[in-house]
Amino acid sequence: MADFPPPYTVRVSPRAKNVIIKLIPDKGIEVVLPKGVNRRDVPYFLEKRREWINHNIRRLEGKGLSLNPPELVLPDEICFAASGKVFTVRRVRNPKPGLRMRRNVDRLLLSGAGWSPDEELKVLTNFVRSEARQFLVPELKRISEKLNLPFSKVFIRAQRKRWGSCSAKGNINLNMKLMFLPYHLARYVLIHELCHTVHLNHSAKYWRLVKKVEPDIEQLEKELSEAGRLVPAWINFQ
């Protein structure tokens, strides 16, 4: 890597016993120093771990992640691979105060006298959440009935790392960003969580249950581990 070290921040922790180097997606490198360690030695510590740092930067990039804070670029088109729906986004200025969104078949019309990027981001994020609720919840119910794997409740979340989760009460959380994944991966996540209603762990029994429904677990897990790159950057700003 030509430019080394990448930008980094330094934090002193009274609880740290050793120098810790963290690679944090969208934030950069954080160097945690124990008390008494000189900040001027940080470049030395980074150089010492150069190979490890570069290796893990490549791993992050392979997953569609970056250490650099992303720039908010709002979309002109929203493509939901899971449902196959595509919406174009049109922006119109008019004298009416505030920001309004109107949906017309496959178009989203944003209108108002003026609005901030954060206001638009909130409106578009709410739209994604609504589409996820309309598509993922019925799919979960359909698959649940087909496999005879009942659940209690379902919630649509905006989790940053998890695609889904299941509680001991049988409540299932689904990440609205599943909408940006191809259907076979979104379906696999639904099956994955439904199987947790029987085995709330990742034991051998759990994986045997999943494999009864989806024999090609290894390939699906591999695809899912790299699916972060399919999620548009703007949705991660919320």
The band of 153, judged by pLDDT with boundaries at 50, 70 and 90, is: very high
What are the helix (H) ranges across the chain? Answer: 42-48, 50-62, 117-147, 183-195, 204-213, 217-225
Q: Pairing mode, if any, of strands 107-112 and 164-166?
A: unpaired
Q: Calculate ∠ Cα 47-10-162, nearest 5°.
A: 95
In the numeric block, which tokens belong to residue 162? 């998890």
* pLDDT value for 7: 82
Task: Tell me the average pLDDT across 198-213.
Answer: 96
**What average pLDDT does range 139-159 have in this prediction?**
97
CATH architecture entry for 77-237: 2-Layer Sandwich (3.30)
| Distance of alpha carbon 218 from alpha carbon 43, whole angstroms | 40
Predicted local confidence at residue 117, as pLDDT: 94
The β-bridge relationship of strands 28-34 and 107-112 is unpaired
Q: What is the mean pLDDT of residues 216-229?
A: 95
Check if the beta carbon of residue 81 is closer than 8 Å to that of residue 179: yes
| Prediction pTM value | 0.75
pLDDT of residue 175: 98
Numbered ranges of CATH 3.30.2010.10 in the chain? 77-237
Distance CA 217, CA 50 (A): 35
The Cα–Cα gap between 60 and 25 comes to 8
pLDDT of residue 18: 93
Question: Quick one: what percent of the chain has pLDDT higher than 70?
Answer: 99
* 147 and 194 Cβ atoms separated by less than 8 Å: yes
